Copies of this chain bind each other. A is one copy, B any other.
Amino acid sequence: MAERYRCPVELTVDLLGGKWRTVILAYLKEGVHRYGELRRRLPGVSEKMLTQRLRELEADGLVARHDHHTVPPHVEYRLTDEGRSLAPVLQALYDWGTERAARSGTPIDDPVPRPDLR
């Protein structure tokens, strides 16, 4: 996210690479989420990493942050239009990953559980 690219593919992978980015985007694709919700749904993520990734996704224009400025704090994250435009890409990655997992016998722990919208 800083240098020059020789191929558009590099740019996309750069934006989606790393350990948590795509999973966060997958969750936000389902709807608006608060910081604490995301943290609970990403087992193993540290607060530092989650905050860092969210800030990066925000800087990249893929995620929008809404601070309600209340006490106690209430901050929501959602996809921007740009973030939503990634849907076909995420879908292609999802489909190929699913087939690959089946072919190779790699287990997938939990296929992106939905947030329970109540």
Contacts and interface: CB of A to CB of B under 8 A. Distances in A.
- Output the residue of A5, A23, A82 with the most chain B CB within 10 A: A5
Contacts of A9: 22-23, 26, 90, 93-94, 97, 112
Contacts of A86: 96
A96 B89 CA distance: 7
Copies of this subunit: 2
Interface in A64-106: 82, 85-86, 88-101, 103, 106
B85 A89 contact: no
Main secondary structure of the interface of A (DSSP, over half): helix
29 contacts: A4-B107, A5-B97, A5-B109, A7-B22, A7-B26, A7-B108, A7-B111, A8-B93, A8-B94, A8-B95, A8-B111, A9-B22, A9-B94, A9-B97, A10-B22, A10-B23, A12-B96, A12-B100, A13-B13, A13-B16, A15-B100, A17-B17, A17-B18, A85-B96, A85-B99, A89-B92, A89-B96, A91-B92, A92-B92
